[in-house]
Amino acid sequence: MKSSVQARLDAETQETLDKLVLQLGWSTSEVVREGIRLVHQRHAVAPRRKLIGVGKFDSGIPDLATNKKYMEDFGVKSMGNGWRRPEKSAKE
């Protein structure tokens, strides 16, 4: 889709545009388009990174992260056969 852009340029900016047209051998439109591309590259916001796996797994247990009963024997198997849970003291 082609469109037209009108811009008011001060004398200094017009002079710079004229110099770029002569120096590069481009049309005024080409210089303006390249300028827009460069401004976009410099000020573009990087896409947000996404965490892999977020929201993809469902244990089916709604309170898994907050209910301590699910952590009671967590890691016991990795401690070896001779390991036993310490006896609860009277304070607990």
- CA atoms of 48 and 46, how far apart (whole Å): 6
Residue pointed to by tokens 């607990």: 92
The pLDDT score that the predictor gives to residue 91 is 63
Q: How far apart are CA 92 and CA 88, in angstroms?
A: 6
pLDDT tens sequence for the chain (92 residues): 688 989 999 999 999 999 999 999 999 999 999 999 999 999 988 888 887 777 777 788 888 888 888 888 777 777 777 777 777 776 65
Domain boundaries of the chain, sorted by first residue: 11-43
Largest CA distance in the chain: 91
Q: How many other C-beta atoms are found inside a 10 Å radius of the C-beta of residue 32?
A: 15
pTM score > 0.95 for this model? no
